């Protein structure tokens, strides 16, 4: 059995704790040992709160789930890798390409698994779009995301907090090149809009828009023009969101048990670093504009 500690008990951390506490649908090598929180939460069901120091030093803990705000990921990953633990981190892994590269190197040197959650690739919506796109030749496309404001101080620049959208585009159309970006911000009403121009390897234009403001609904709008026609909508889910965090955990477990091929591991790492690299470029470009 591998002992797990969950760091950060917000929305994602709570789901992770629930999944680890629930009877697993198939035998799992994971056992929840405790959780770390900045707040005094006491116990969650039978699971006890432990200090960060105890989580790092306990020989019972083999694995850390980093479910805290994005700004803390880098430090937490480094601490747990240095303590000889495997790490699962909610996306985005870090808020810069350089730190992600350094942490991947550290994980490899220590012989530990570093897994970045990508639940956006496990949704029914993504499966639909992926299937629609298969075999088609893209001429141009747009992915426009809207949602409520996200605190930049805690979740980072929009290109990082919105990495799930970039991950969709890369998974659908292959590696992308950054062309240019624009930012619109109205601090008084927490309005933020980032428009990014990207290009596929065939030099086809893709636009990624990330727009956040009070009252904006969580929504993804797509408009992909192919030689064979246009894809403009994603049908509503037919079932509730299938347990995507649990499916992500299954992928992590396969890695821990050495059941994922070296090629697949390398592919995932490349995907993660490619997305973080583009996010990094966008951020630098936008900072330069200011
Ligand atoms: P959240 O604000 O609900 O939770 C973050 C929690 O982390 C808070 O409870 C905060 O107190 C805690 N925290 C922050 N710093 C900490 C520290 N140093 N030690 C212990 N606890 C700390 O946010 P969330 O939506 O759960 O997002 C958490 C992470 O999960 C983010 O990286 C996000 O990108 C990722 N994620 C979330 C979802 C989702 O559906 N909510 C989906 C995919 C990925």
Banded pLDDT at 282 (limits 50, 70, 90): very high
Give the chain's mean pLDDT.
96
- Residue-wise pLDDT for 85-94, tens only, equals 999 999 999 9
Q: Report whether 160 contacts 279 (CB < 8 A).
A: yes
For residue 126, the surrounding DSSP H or E stretch is helix 124-133
Q: How far is the CA of 177 from the centre of ligand 1 (A)?
A: 30
Residue with the smallest CA separation from ligand 1 atom 25 is: 11
The β-bridge relationship of strands 2-7 and 30-36 is parallel
Banded pLDDT at 290 (limits 50, 70, 90): confident
How many CA atoms are closer than 13 Å to the CA of 281, on its beta-carbon side? 16
Q: Report whether 102 contacts 114 (CB < 8 A).
A: no
Tokens 């951390």: give the residue. Answer: 13
Query: How far is it, in rounded angstroms, from Cα 198 to Cα 220?
Result: 18
For residue 195, the surrounding DSSP H or E stretch is strand 191-199
Task: Establish whether residue 147 lines the binding site of ligand 1, counting it when its CB lies within 6 angstroms of any ligand atom.
Answer: no
pLDDT at residue 24 above 80? no
pLDDT at residue 25 above 70? no
User: What is the pLDDT, as a whole number, of residue 27?
Assistant: 74
How many CA atoms are closer than 13 Å to the CA of 248, on its beta-carbon side? 23
User: What is the pLDDT, as a whole number, of residue 242?
Assistant: 75
Q: Is the dihedral of CA 225, 231, 232, 237 positive or negative?
A: negative
User: What is the pLDDT, as a whole number, of residue 236?
Assistant: 87
Q: How far is the CA of 10 from the centre of ligand 1 (A)?
A: 5
Let me know the angle formed at the C-alpha of 97 by 92 and 102, rounded to the nearest 5 degrees: 100
- Residue-wise pLDDT for 174-186, tens only, equals 999 999 999 999 9
Task: Establish whether residue 122 lines the binding site of ligand 1, counting it when its CB lies within 6 angstroms of any ligand atom.
Answer: no
Residues 228-255: what's their mean pLDDT? 91
Residues 3-29: what's their mean pLDDT? 91
Query: How far is it, in rounded angstroms, from Cα 65 to Cα 207?
Result: 33
């Amino acid at each position: 059995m591998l002992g797990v500690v969950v760091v950060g008990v917000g929305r994602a951390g709570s789901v992770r704790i629930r999944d680890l506490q629930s009877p697993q649908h198939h035998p799992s090598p994971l056992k929840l040992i405790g959780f770390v929180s900045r707040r005094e939460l006491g116990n969650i069901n039978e699971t006890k709160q432990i200090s960060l120091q105890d989580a790092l030093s306990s020989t019972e803990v083999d694995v850390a789930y980093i479910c805290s705000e994005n700004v803390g990921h880098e430090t937490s990953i480094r601490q747990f890798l240095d303590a000889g633990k495997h790490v699962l981190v909610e996306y985005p892994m870090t808020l810069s390409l350089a730190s992600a590269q350094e942490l991947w190197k550290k994980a490899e040197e220590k012989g530990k698994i570093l897994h970045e959650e990508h639940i956006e690739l496990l949704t029914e919506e993504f499966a639909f779009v992926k299937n629609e796109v298969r075999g088609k030749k893209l001429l141009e496309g747009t992915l426009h995301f809207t949602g409520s404001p996200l605190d930049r101080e805690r979740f980072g620049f929009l290109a990082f907090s919105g990495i799930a959208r970039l991950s969709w585009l890369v998974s659908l159309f292959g590696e992308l090149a950054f062309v240019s970006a624009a930012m619109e911000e109205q601090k008084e009403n927490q309005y933020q809009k980032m428009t990014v121009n990207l290009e596929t390897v065939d030099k086809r234009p893709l636009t990624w828009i990330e727009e956040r403001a009070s009252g904006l609904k969580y929504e993804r709008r797509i408009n992909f023009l192919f030689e064979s026609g246009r894809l403009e909508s994603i049908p509503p889910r037919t079932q509730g969101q299938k347990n995507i965090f649990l499916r992500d955990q299954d992928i992590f477990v396969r890695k821990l048990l050495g059941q994922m091929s070296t090629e697949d591991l390398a592919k995932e790492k490349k995907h993660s670093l490619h997305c973080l690299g583009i996010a990094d470029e966008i951020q630098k470009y936008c900072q330069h504009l200011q």
